[in-house]
Amino acid sequence: MLKSIAQSPFFLKVLGAIVAAYMTFVKYTTRWSIEHSERVESIIKDGKGVIALTWHSRFLMLTSAWKKSYQVPHVLISRSRDGNVVAYASHFLGIKTIRGSTRKARKDKGGAKAGQDIVEAIENNGCVVITPDGPRGPYQRIVEGPIRLARLTGAPLMPCAFAVKNRKQLGTWDKLVVPLPFGRGKIIWGTPVYIPTHAKEKDIERYRSEIENEMNDLLAKADSAMGHAPTQPIPLGETA
């Protein structure tokens, strides 16, 4: 009985509304310091599409970096139960959603359709937000999907890191950080990376590794600025 209630659309919608309200509350009660916002703003002002990347553990802070003057973002969300909650939260936040995964082996999870939707959003000069270690890890390790999408569309990959002073870090697979209100926060935009359309397979892996390293460096810098020991990525070869 309780399980069926917890899986019902009504319950998930209510939970999504609570998550959306909390994300908004944190956004406006936190004193945010933003580094290198000009990197993403210059791309947006040019009216170009962009693929923003941040780690899954920081998704509760996603809206804090997005200004009203930016275009409405599209967020890639898995088709899992947890993904349904995030999808409802995104709806209440006025964010568009793309359901599926960028992992090669997850075409049965909507990967092919998600790829088509991402390409369409970018061609319409939109922003697509991807957590490249989601939906189930390994945490802080990038899969090749976003790199291939950037090669296909010509859109830049834009890393972004979030950290807050007041927080609760959970023991979930992604080391989820729950931001607490009335504190300080740090947002750091990384370097835009363009993947050439002629990039070969060995180039894909090189770009993937370089972007992964920058994302982890940005996260470590943001966490350190907020007084926390950096969360290290899972060792290569291990699973969450």
- CATH number for the domain harbouring residue 19: 3.40.1130.10
Residue 237 lies in a domain: no
Residue 102 lies in a domain: yes
* Cα 171 from chain centroid (whole Å): 19
Tell me which amino acid residue 95 is: I
Which stretches does DSSP call E strand in 16-141? 31-35, 50-53, 73-77, 96-99, 127-130
Residue 239 lies in a domain: no
Query: What is the spatial distance between Cα 57 and Cα 167, in angstroms, rounded to a whole number?
Result: 12
Residue 192 lies in a domain: yes
Residue with token string 């990039």: 199
- 106-110, 127-131, 133-137: least confident range: 106-110
Residues 6+ apart with CB under 8 A from 198: none
Q: How far apart are the first and last CA of the chain?
A: 31
Residue 182 lies in a domain: yes
Which pLDDT does position 105 carry in this prediction?
Answer: 45
Instruction: Provide the domain limits for residue 21.
Output: 2-225
| Contact status, residue 163 vs residue 219, Cβ threshold 8 Å | yes
Which pLDDT does position 120 carry in this prediction?
Answer: 92
Q: What is the pLDDT of residues 143-177, one digit of tens each?
A: 999 999 999 999 999 999 999 999 999 999 999 99
Q: Considering the chain, what percentage of its residues have pLDDT values greater than 90? A: 72
Query: What is the spatial distance between Cα 45 and Cα 6, in angstroms, rounded to a whole number?
Result: 43
Cα torsion 15, 16, 17, 20: sign: positive
Residue 33 lies in a domain: yes
Residue 67 lies in a domain: yes
Residue 191 lies in a domain: yes
Nearest to 156 by CA among 60, 46, 58: 46
Whether the pTM exceeds 0.75: the reply is: yes
- Compute the mean pLDDT over every residue in the chain, rounded to the nearest whole number: 90
- pLDDT confidence tier of residue 181, bands split at 50, 70 and 90: very high
User: What total number of domains does the chain contain?
Assistant: 1
Q: What is the pLDDT of residues 75-128, one digit of tens each?
A: 999 888 888 999 999 999 999 999 987 765 445 556 688 889 999 999 888 899
C-alpha separations of 12 from 17, 78, 204 in Å = 9, 15, 38
Three-class SS state of 200: coil
